[in-house]
Amino acid sequence: MKLNQLTLTQAMAGVKKKKFSGKEIFEACLAEIEVKNKDLNAYLTINSEKSYKSHNKPFYGLPLAIKDNYCINEVETTASSAVLTGFKPPYDATVIAKLRQSGFSFLGKTNMDAWAHGSSTETSDFGPTRNPRNLAHAPGGSSGGSAAAVAADLCVAALGSETGGSIRQPAAWCGCVGFRPSYGRASRYGVAAMASSTDTPGFLTKTVADVALITPCICGLDPLDATSSPEVFPNLINQMKKDLKGKKIGFLYLDIKGMEKTRAYYERVWQDLEKLGAKVEKVKARDPREAIGVYTVVQRSEVSSNLGRYDGIRYGQGREKFGAEAKRRIMLGTFLLSQGYADKYYWQAQKVRTLFMQDFERLFTQYDALVSPVSPTLAKKLGCSEESAMFGELEDIFVEPSAICGLPSASVPCYHDKKSNLYLGLNIMAPMHQEEIVMQVASAYEAGTNWNHWAVVERGDHEI
Amino acid sequence: MKFSAEFVQQIADLAKLTIDEAQAKDLALGFEESMAVVEELSQVPTQGLEPTYQVNNLVNVWREDVVNKKQMFTQKQALANAKNTYRGYLVVERIIDHET
Amino acid sequence: MKYNLVCGLEIHTELKTQSKMFCGCKNDPFGAKEPNIYTCPVCLGMPGALPVANRKAIEWTVKLGLFLDCQINLKSKFDRKNYFYPDLPKGYQISQYDLPFCFDGKVETDLGVVRINRIHLEEDTAKLLHQIVEGKKVTLIDFNRSSVPLVEIVTEPDIKTSEQAVVYAKKIREAVRLLGIGEADMQKGAMRLEANISLQTSEQAKRGELPNYKVEVKNINSFNFMKQAIEYEMKRQAALLDQGIVIKQETRGWNSEKGETFLQRSKENAADYRYFPDPDLPMIVLSQAQIDEWKAELPLSSEQEVKRWEKQYQIPVKYGQALIGKKEEIAWANELWQAAAQQNLSVAKLANYLVNKKINYSLNDKVVEVIKKFNQLTQVDEINQGDLKAIIKKTIDQFPTEVKRYQAGEKQLLGFFMGQIIKSAGKKLDAAQVNKILREELG
């Protein structure tokens, strides 16, 4: 096995035992990037070998891919938009500073839907990213570059962000793990804002154990972010489980229109969860289509305001450089907030959002965790985002309800289609601030099934 | 709801974006599609509900009145990414006065 | 035709906190030696930058509201006011829309009560300088002022004369200085005035109706100019109304050189600011206990202080009024009165000497020094009663004619005798003592 194929867990174990160094892993990743990136376009900016500085504990310089909406001091940060070409922030995002402090190194910045507007990475102003599992298909988005970098072993793990489903959906489409903590756990300071009330930093990783290792590094109260949570982040490593005995799980959205093609696979997931000891029940939740409406209104309204700062005066290029999707979203948001319409649309959407929060509260009194499909289909072909002006929102239908409520959740591979080499993902949701429950279900499911090839290798590989 | 090309142009002006006629027509169709989904929300009864614009129920988050030197830029850093500067200032074409 | 002035004022005043409203940058835009040296990602509106509210600015805003008799909103929030302008780095200003910190207050003036509609807290914009650089007309931008805390005080249209507008504005300035929350220096731009002016016809007055338009006048940077601008507008609008012309909502600037207002923008299409609550800033929820604590910390208003001086030290009200103004002056004066009272000196006399400039002083003087000067002027030489009586008698005897005139009713000659006595004595005498004995001798 090549060093770039190691999981974070394996890499840590090996570096601790001095079998190899963080620098060697960094170089192995660079070598693979050199070969694969021109086809995948997962990375927009790649750091050179020279940029590697020696790092100590706790993470020994293990290399990460960073989504391009995170400001890294003096490194070009564009959020995949032509408006920010050449922009080099003189500051680090808080989570970047924390990852540095934890001893990680950065391989480069990954591609995304421009401004995180999308679910396929096709709205990037710098070309789409291809799905490493099947190059004719999209990787999902907006953290498509990060998901692709993980799936293609071009890094040990990748930093992403989620607003409507932008970590879980690309994780599902690329067949890796995606995890987002509760809203407010990780600081948004220095992350180009999309929808301020739902933007959440999180990770794309190879296994669930990797999530447990790395997520605490970025969580914690940040005085520079007034929406960051003072709640103490739980220890996730202690929450890795082998079974789900005593757990009550609600299964959502199986009967929603569009699930016809993949429903059978999710019924198998249901059976596997029960084999692990969980009690699983079908659950009627609020119609997720309403969440699309809420998300569309809230996100576009906040976006229209958040992107008002890009005028080319203090940095970046002029507003004429905004791509078509960005223009569309800014304008719709402007309309939804405008005089005469705000009451009807903006305020109504925020009230329906309250209904979703109440609905989840109700469900969590009956169930420990909730699961659902991430996406109704396998990763779609490149070009899919042109289907509709609402492509992103429609794709993310199953993950938007939990996203607008800020719930901690994950996507883990739950089916692999041998013919296309593409995957389906299982969406796992827990109550606010109870990330440990997500961890319990995700780890047990991964341990009890064979969909995650890295996990399978890890289990068979007793040496490392 | 329907969006005329003029209305779309007005929105573009409000958002300080430039679009041409073809784009205006295209955008209008896209908006109509989006609004079809949004309009469904109008059917949901919400009387007496408080809107949620913050999901983690925080209140009174503030900072003490202290200068934070670590976060402050030097003049050089402040201007580092600007296209047009002059003697420490940022520069734009002359604005014919008015504010708001 | 006669018209009534219907005028409301909007005053913006910067708070002199150490740091800015939403970031930890130094708050000293006027004192900065270079442009763009007090900035950070937040006040420059850079990607991912987030605001965090300055608690002191909130406290001071509420205190100002309490001082001006306002109600306080226990639940409050910040909203985004969206518009584009080069002095606004985020493309929106963080302000307050429907839940300002303070509302429904009032200021009492000798010329009538002016009600306050609201007081809210927001951030200031960057400073713009229009110049010609290398032959081109440009605008230069300095972000040192960006996000400095700014309080906006809006009145009801209660102002009925230009004089009242000035009196009101001065009271606001005094309140800000007294509370120690701002310089309110109009030259430095720390306080800015805007007047909304319209004229009410007598018919409207009978029906209790207000005019259906208002003209907003900006760019007023002194109280004097405000008075002139209001008076100019009254004339201008009266002339238009006399001709039956309907006046439109508009924004005008004040040209101090020409002494005229000029059209800046027609306000028919009011800007659509698309206000919505700022998702980056959680709500503010204040307790009544906190409000009561802040209320107890308020200083007395200058009227209240002057009254207290009259009661406690017998300082006449008009002297007290002449001495007050800034918060520092009152504090210094109180220190001085206390020290004088401790030494059993006449505080009222001391106040008299200060007001009438018999003692030159500045706020930098130590209280001890001022008392020393006072003592030097009022010290009397030691003299026994017997000697004093002898001197007085001797002096009176030199002026028999004047004594007769005094006894006939010309009481003002007392002053003449006093002067002669003091001259011949060649010593410092206690005037009160001399006066007493003199009267006895004269009969």
C59-86: per-residue pLDDT in tens?
999 999 999 999 999 999 999 999 999 9
Residue A342 inside a domain? The answer is yes
Shortest Cα distance, chain A CAs vs residue C220, angstroms:
29
Q: Report d(CA B61, CA B53) in Å as an integer.
A: 15
Shortest Cα distance, chain C CAs vs residue A76, angstroms:
12
Measured from the Cβ of residue B64, the count of other Cβ atoms closer than 10 Å reads: 11
With contacts defined as CB-CB under 8 Å, which chain B residues touch C85? 95, 99-100
When pLDDT is cut at 50, 70 and 90, the band that residue B51 belongs to is very high
Q: Is position A21 annotated as part of the catalytic site? A: no
Q: Cβ(C23)–Cβ(C40) under 8 Å?
A: yes
Residue A464 inside a domain? The answer is no
C40, C90, C269, best to mutate vs chain B, most B CBs in 10 Å: C40
* Per-residue pLDDT at C267: 54
Q: What's the longest Cα–Cα distance across chain C?
A: 96
pLDDT tens-place string over residues A52-86: 877 778 999 999 999 999 999 999 999 999 999 99
Picking from A225, A316, C247, C163, the residue whose alpha carbon sits closest to that of residue B82 is A316
CB burial of residue C69 (10 Å; 0-12, 13-18, 19+): middle
pLDDT tens-place string over residues C394-424: 888 888 888 889 888 888 888 888 888 878 7
Q: Report d(CA C274, CA C81) in Å as an integer.
A: 7
Measured from the Cβ of residue A257, the count of other Cβ atoms closer than 10 Å reads: 8
Helix (H) / strand (E) element for C166: namely helix C162-178
When pLDDT is cut at 50, 70 and 90, the band that residue B99 belongs to is very low
Q: What percentage of chain A carries pLDDT values higher than 70? A: 99
**Counted domains in chain A:** 1
* Per-residue pLDDT at C326: 62
Residue A33 inside a domain? The answer is yes
pLDDT tens-place string over residues C238-281: 999 999 999 988 899 999 889 999 988 765 556 899 999 999 99
pLDDT tens-place string over residues A221-270: 999 999 999 999 999 999 999 999 999 999 999 999 889 999 999 999 99
Q: Could you give the strand order of the β-sheet that contains A63-67, starting from the edge strand earlier in sequence?
A: A43-46, A105-110, A63-67, A157-162, A200-205, A177-180, A409-417, A422-429, A369-373, A248-251, A279-282
- Rounded mean pLDDT of A168-179? 98
The token pair at A351 is 């009230």
Is C41 part of the contact surface with chain A (CB cutoff 8 Å)?
A: yes
Q: Report d(CA C312, CA C375) in Å as an integer.
A: 21
Residue A463 inside a domain? The answer is no
Helices (H), C297-366: 302-313, 317-323, 327-342, 347-355
Residue A464 pLDDT more than 60? Answer: no
Q: Cβ(A421)–Cβ(A134) under 8 Å?
A: yes
* Per-residue pLDDT at C106: 94
Q: What percentage of chain C carries pLDDT values higher than 70? A: 96
Residue A318 inside a domain? The answer is yes
Q: At C154, is the secondary structure helix, strand, or coil?
A: strand
Residue B45 pLDDT more than 90? Answer: yes
- Would you call B67 and C25 a contact, using CB atoms and an 8 Å cutoff? yes
* Strands in A227-352 per DSSP E: 248-251, 279-282
Shortest Cα distance, chain A CAs vs residue C45, angstroms:
6
Catalytic-role residue among A36, A67, A206, A241: A67
Is C80 part of the contact surface with chain A (CB cutoff 8 Å)?
A: yes
With contacts defined as CB-CB under 8 Å, which chain A residues touch C276? 301, 305, 337, 342, 346
Q: Report d(CA A207, CA A461) in Å as an integer.
A: 14
The token pair at C165 is 């507008």
Whichever domain contains A380, its CATH number is 3.90.1300.10
Is C91 part of the contact surface with chain A (CB cutoff 8 Å)?
A: yes
Residue A237 inside a domain? The answer is yes
- Rounded mean pLDDT of C345-357? 86
- Average pLDDT of chain A to the nearest whole number: 95
- Rounded mean pLDDT of A380-390? 87
In this complex, the residue of A188, A190, A309 whose CB is nearest that of residue C45 is A309
Residue of B nearest to C274 (CA): B14
* Per-residue pLDDT at C261: 92
- Would you call C53 and B63 a contact, using CB atoms and an 8 Å cutoff? yes
Which residues lie closer than 8 Å to C299 by C-beta, 6 or more apart?
C178, C179, C305, C327, C330
Q: Report d(CA B78, CA B83) in Å as an integer.
A: 12
When pLDDT is cut at 50, 70 and 90, the band that residue C331 belongs to is confident
Residue C119 pLDDT more than 80? Answer: yes
Catalytic-role residue among A143, A161, A166, A182: A166
Q: Report d(CA A112, CA A162) in Å as an integer.
A: 11
Residue C123 pLDDT more than 60? Answer: yes
Q: At C149, is the secondary structure helix, strand, or coil?
A: strand
Better-predicted residue by pLDDT, C357 or A456: A456
Domains belonging to chain C, first-starting first, are 4-289 (no CATH), 300-378 (no CATH), 385-442 (1.10.10)
Is C84 part of the contact surface with chain A (CB cutoff 8 Å)?
A: yes
Residue of B nearest to A185 (CA): B56
- Domain residues for A9? 3-458
CA torsion B87-B90-B93-B97 (nearest 10°) is -100
Q: Cβ(A212)–Cβ(A179) under 8 Å?
A: no
Residue C214 pLDDT more than 50? Answer: yes
Helix (H) / strand (E) element for A255: namely none
Q: Cβ(C398)–Cβ(C420) under 8 Å?
A: yes
Q: What is the pTM of this model?
A: 0.88
Q: Cβ(C283)–Cβ(C294) under 8 Å?
A: no
The token pair at C84 is 């584009």
* Per-residue pLDDT at A229: 96
Q: Is position A166 annotated as part of the catalytic site? A: yes
Instruction: State which amino acid sits at residue C151.
Output: V
Residue B100 pLDDT more than 50? Answer: no
Interface of B with A (CB under 8 A): 8, 11-12, 14-19, 23, 27, 29-31, 33-34, 37-38, 40-42, 44, 46, 49-56, 58, 61-63, 71, 73, 77, 80-84, 90, 92
Q: Report d(CA C54, CA C64) in Å as an integer.
A: 16
Picking from A203, A199, A223, A224, the residue whose alpha carbon sits closest to that of residue A213 is A203
Beta strands A157-162 and A63-67: pairing type? parallel
- C-alpha dist (Å) from residue C331 to A150, C15, C323, C324, C390: 68, 20, 11, 10, 46
- Would you call B68 and C281 a contact, using CB atoms and an 8 Å cutoff? no
Residue A397 inside a domain? The answer is yes
Q: Cβ(A201)–Cβ(A215) under 8 Å?
A: no
The token pair at A32 is 């693979």
pLDDT tens-place string over residues A182-213: 999 999 999 999 999 999 999 999 999 999 99
Residue of A nearest to C53 (CA): A226
Beta strands C284-285 and C276-277: pairing type? unpaired
* Strands in A55-140 per DSSP E: 63-67, 105-110
The token pair at A443 is 């780890």
Residue A38 pLDDT more than 80? Answer: yes
Helix C162-178 vs helix C327-342: crossing angle, to nearest 10:
60
- C-alpha dist (Å) from residue A318 to A34, A60, A308: 33, 41, 11
Picking from A3, A395, A1, A334, the residue whose alpha carbon sits closest to that of residue A168 is A395
- Would you call A225 and C52 a contact, using CB atoms and an 8 Å cutoff? yes
Residue C394 phi/psi, 5-degree rounding, is: -60, -45
Which residues lie closer than 8 Å to A1 by C-beta, 6 or more apart?
A457, A461
Catalytic-role residue among A105, A142, A161, A228: A142
Residue A239 inside a domain? The answer is yes
Q: Report d(CA A424, CA A268) in Å as an integer.
A: 12
pLDDT tens-place string over residues A277-296: 999 999 999 999 999 999 99
- C-alpha dist (Å) from residue A75 to A68, A113, A267: 10, 19, 46
- Would you call C274 and A315 a contact, using CB atoms and an 8 Å cutoff? no
Q: Cβ(C22)–Cβ(C1) under 8 Å?
A: no
